[in-house]
Structure 1
């Protein structure tokens, strides 16, 4: 019977050793996964930090563009005023052009009445 107990004790010892090795391997695998996850989290955090730096730079750039566009708005307003004045000036020129054409016609007609034999202007 002592021989049976020794075999049973040895089998139990082997079972406990095998279970212990299996649990140890599982824990090591979990630990490795956690290490990998931690490295990935650090990498992602670094990427987001870099993106934050880029976003901050873009914000500064956008503010600079906004301040420059504010200065351009003044020039755009001046250009609009000039364009309006040019349009009004063109309208006046058109009226004057028609008036000059009418005067030329009257002068030609008057000239023909006074000097019927002379060539027309």
Structure 2
């Protein structure tokens, strides 16, 4: 019976050793995964920090563009005013052109009328 107890004790010892090895391997795998996750988190944090720098640079650039466009707004307003004045000037020129055409027609008619009178009296 002592042999049976020794065999049982040895089998139990082997079982505990195997279970212990299995748990140790599982814990080591989990530890390796946690190390990998920590490294990935550090890498992602570094990337986000770089993206934060880029975003800050873009914000500064956008503010500079906004201030420059604000300066251009004044010129755009002046150009709109000039364009309106040019349109008004073109309208005046068109009226004057029509007036000159009518005046020219009247002068030609008067010239023809006098010429025909001169040839009748002459």
TM-score range, shorter chain: over 0.9
Q: Using structure 2 for the length normalisation, give the TM-score.
A: 0.93
Higher deviation after alignment, 100-109 or 2-11? 2-11
Work out the CA distance in 2 between the residues paired with 1:17 and 1:75. 86
Show CA shifts across 1:61-107 (max 9, x none). 00000000000100000000000000000000000000000010000
Work out the CA distance in 2 between the residues paired with 1:62 and 1:120. 86
2:23 partner SS = helix
Normalized per residue, the structure richer in helix is 2
**Residues 120 and 54 from structure 1, CA distance in 2 versus in 1: closer, same or farther, beyond 3 angstroms?**
farther
Report deviation, 1:4.
1.3
1:119 partner SS = helix
How many residue pairs match? The answer is 120
**Residues 94 and 118 from structure 1, CA distance in 2 versus in 1: closer, same or farther, beyond 3 angstroms?**
farther
**Residues 42 and 94 from structure 1, CA distance in 2 versus in 1: closer, same or farther, beyond 3 angstroms?**
same
Q: Comparing both chains, which one has the higher relative contact order based on Cα–Cα distances under 8 Å and sequence gaps of 6 or more?
A: 1
Runs of 4 or more above 4 Å deviation: 117-121
Structure 2: any 5+ residue segments left out of the alignment? none
The alignment's C-alpha RMSD in Å is: 3.1
